[in-house]
Chain A
């Protein structure tokens, strides 16, 4: 912008303003500089990852048995976590959105807590409940001779504890904003409540269900704190990808970078699959 009253408009800018309206889109310096610093801060580390990546030996680094094991373990535990979250989390989301009972607000707060709780605290809490001497775990041990910690089951439990709230919150929000007129219509057509849920409610929130599932899966895949605390890091048993990255950084940096790239790629895929929900400008249709 010039300081004189008369300024210059490029043809492109003229066309833009004519088409979309609005005034100048140029950014004042006091906003532009901090914004650029923020961009640099967010982008440089990712650039570092890409620059330092051992592109030529990427395949070799990833095919190391530890890395493959970690990859396989992470993918299946995250998938099982997502499935469990759908089976028990969606009903809970419905209860939170549609039922009305005393303590509902408290319950919602409790469900949301893992979203903000440091995951390592979640891990400690899981250990105290389901650990060998935990108040539930001790009975499992004495009655069934069955211990959870340091097994793949512990990985799934840690991931579910951390990831399921993402699904619940997403689906609950969708259920709240869904037009209940359709459910009324289904009732007048003779549908009992479970039929309404199955044939109307769930299909109508399907996009949010999908988004919540992807979100939960991604969160489970990246889970570190709760998992390492509750499940430990036995290669092939409980050492998931983030944990493998953490340890490989000391022993085999190339493998750490390669695994990180895989996680980065997954994140990008997740972001693209959710782009309609998160990256679209303005109100979602």
Chain B
């Protein structure tokens, strides 16, 4: 966590909206992109709204580059218009009555530049984002990807010290999303200040963010690098997002007793604590007979309760102890005549289990 006096953003605050309370503590260093990942209603947009000054904090404070933006204990509050913030909204909110150039010139104008210099500032950003040809269009005449870039140009043209992006790619169709994503990554890398990027798309978060923060029901449930979050999910929500089986249990040396029933044999690393076990669906093997193997192999009987075709593989939903999602090839489904209701054996090597401390329980 960054400390006060640095150039970064520090949020240590609670924001109440009706009976929903967001309580977060986070820091973002200059140049760093912090991804905020979470389901709908987790408080992601509320967080951005508080940083932008659209919603005041109910307790705690928000500090940017040493400047207090909002502090409930002293009453200090800087109005949205005076915060050095660039905000890219989910649906962009481009002013429909202004041309692209005027949209981008809006912030320089509003922040006190003359018409001429605002126009030239706008054209600088337009050409930087490859939008020069669209300068005289109205937002209604733009494609989704173009509108996204105009929104980014408009936010950057105000020369903000902090960039807030609310689901910047969610309004785009799958085809343009990848292009715009690559471009956005480049512009975020060039941006000198801290950025907060809200998303519910794990891929977007993994690609764009330097650090990830998972928000659920107004609380931060996990924080780390994208690799940490993807490899060692802390909650079922994250596990589902990154496509892993996740089990909570208690480790005792080479054994984990799972909360939901069943046990796993694990490589003994001397863990004696509450742990989480993550397993890739492709690491689990399905067979008709009980597999005969070494002791470092976990095997348990299960029943197939669901099959879903995913591109080049079939995801089996196995009911057993424990419950598991397993990926097999379509050929295997045919060879073994797998169907809903089929009794099978699931097995996984102990070395394919990722076992790590259950942070939430340790702190509880």
Which A positions have Cβ atoms within 8 angstroms of B? Answer: 181-182, 184-193, 195, 199-200, 203-204, 206
Contact = CB atoms under 8 A, between A and B. Distances in A.
28 contacts: A182-B93, A184-B54, A184-B89, A185-B89, A185-B95, A186-B110, A187-B54, A187-B81, A188-B54, A188-B80, A188-B83, A188-B85, A188-B87, A188-B164, A189-B107, A189-B110, A190-B107, A190-B111, A191-B81, A191-B110, A192-B81, A193-B81, A199-B106, A200-B95, A203-B95, A203-B97, A203-B98, A204-B95
Contacts of A193: 81
B106 A191 contact: yes
A187 B107 CA distance: 9
Interface string B15-53: 000000000000000000000000000000000000011
B149 interface: no
A224 B334 CA distance: 88
A59 B202 CA distance: 77
Nearest to A200: B95
A103 to B, nearest CB: 26
B86 interface: yes
A92 B110 CA distance: 25
Contact of B93 (A185, A199, A203): A185
Contacts of A188: 52, 54, 80-81, 83, 85-87, 155, 164
- Of the candidates A188, A190, A199, A200, the one having the most CB atoms from chain B within 10 angstroms of its own CB is A188
Given A189-B111, A204-B97, 20 more contacts: A181-B89, A181-B91, A184-B80, A185-B89, A185-B93, A185-B95, A186-B106, A187-B53, A187-B79, A188-B83, A188-B155, A189-B110, A189-B154, A190-B81, A190-B82, A191-B106, A191-B110, A199-B106, A203-B98, A204-B96
B54 A182 contact: no
A195 B110 contact: yes
A193 B82 CA distance: 11
Contacts of B111: 189-190
Interface of B: 52-54, 79-83, 85-87, 89, 91, 93, 95-98, 106-107, 110-111, 154-155, 158, 164
When A and B form their complex, which 9 residue pairs have the shortest distance between CB atoms, in order from nearest?
A189-B107, A191-B110, A188-B87, A185-B93, A187-B80, A190-B111, A190-B110, A203-B97, A181-B93
Contacts of A200: 95
A192 B53 CA distance: 13
Contacts of B155: 188-189
- Of the candidates B91, B110, B155, the one having the most CB atoms from chain A within 10 angstroms of its own CB is B110
B337 to A, nearest CB: 48
A199 to B, nearest CB: 7
A200 B107 CA distance: 12
Contacts of B93: 181-182, 184-185
Contacts of B80: 184, 187-188
Nearest to A183: B93
A76 to B, nearest CB: 31
Nearest to A203: B97
Contacts of B164: 188
B63 to A, nearest CB: 18
A29 B91 CA distance: 51
Contact of A192 (B85, B86, B106, B110): B110
A227 to B, nearest CB: 37
Contacts of B98: 203
Nearest to B54: A184
A192 B95 CA distance: 16
A274 B364 CA distance: 65
Contact of A189 (B79, B96, B106): B106
B97 to A, nearest CB: 4
B111 to A, nearest CB: 4
A218 B56 CA distance: 45
B97 A189 contact: no
Contacts of B110: 186, 189-192, 195, 199
A227 B53 CA distance: 50
A191 B89 CA distance: 16
B334 to A, nearest CB: 46
Contacts of A181: 89, 91, 93
B89 A189 contact: no
Contacts of A187: 53-54, 79-81
